[in-house]
Amino acid sequence: MTAKHKISPSLAKLLVRMFAGLGAFSFLLWLLLRGQNIAILHSKGPIASQQRDLIIWSLIVILAIAVPTVLLLYFTAWRYRESHSSSTYHPEAKTGKIFNIIIWALPSLMMLVLAFTLVPSTHKLQPNKALAAQKPSINIQVVAMRWKWLFIYPEQGIATVNYVQLPKDTPVAFDLTADDAPMSSFWVPNLSGQLYAMTGHINRLNLIANVNGDYPGRSAEINGAGFAGMQFTARVSSTDDFESWVETTKQSSASLDKTAYQTLIKPSENNEVETYYPVDGTLYADAVMKYIGSHGNKAAHTMHDEGMN
């Protein structure tokens, strides 16, 4: 068995080619990424920033384990290759007890390190946890419909479709539910991770935005034909701008009563931005409660749990 693999290039050549290829490819990707909104990295609020930092930190720790292991594997494969020398060949070589302990202990130890971050970060970044800030928080009720997002501002008495405006540095509590729509997922990656909007449930998502600007938001969960067009803009502005936007909206909008709601809820795709004033205050509770009926009180439970947290 003295096969000579003439058809495969030498290792040095292979490595040069691989690194040249990867380098050129990375450069191309870097060029394409310049000036783009890399939403998860370009976080515009404390929640998204902490989530980003967690991603980067965990990535570094995991790579610190994975890269040496893989390099060791490559090195071993190269060191004991057939064409190298047969003098190092010891088919009877056995692994000892210590080796067996190490291969279990080492990854366990690393996972322990990760676990010590995982548990506290999960508690800290639980979406329904209220956020402390200087300014008082505002509440926005969100209804996922086929295939658009309805935002109701109960305190301001206005409502919008596929557009949401937030005051800067203010904690915002989104109460997510869905009406006559499959499970949808509410996601504004620049501001926070996503959470599901489901019929008969209220999922609360708290976030704060620190930087003015327009950020894309959308449903991240497949929910039917109009899924790709189910997107909205989240505009972050100063509190003053927010207040004046509320006033303008009040002056220039149609009312959202039960009849208008029944029209709105009909499936539509790539819906335009719409604004409403005044808004029937019972719409949101009705949208949630109609899925609960006599069969149970899931939403009530959800509300209760939030209170506990």
Between 158 and 191, whose beta carbon lies closer to another protein? 191
Pick 6 or 251: Cβ nearer another protein = 6
Residue among 170 and 185 whose Cβ is closer to another protein: 185
Where b means 16+ CB within 10 Å and e means fewer, 256-277 reads beeebbeebbeebeebeebbbb
Cβ proximity to another protein, 233 vs 253, nearer residue: 233
By the 8 A CB rule, do 196 and 184 touch? yes
- Shortest CB 164 distance to another protein, Å: 16
Please state the closest distance from residue 226 (CB atom) to another protein, in A: 7
What string of H, E and C letters represents the secondary structure of 99-140? Answer: HHHHHHHHHHHHHHHHHHHHHHHHHHCCCCCCCCCCCCCEEE
CB of 286 to another protein, least distance (A): 14
Residue type for position 33 = L
Q: Which helix (H) or strand (E) holds 171?
A: strand 171-178
Number of other CB atoms surrounding residue 66 within 10 Å: 11
| Minimum CB distance to another protein smaller for 114 or for 265 | 114
Shortest distance (Å) from residue 59 CB to another protein: 6
Q: How far is the CB of 132 from another protein (least distance, A)?
A: 17
Residue with tokens 């109009």: 226
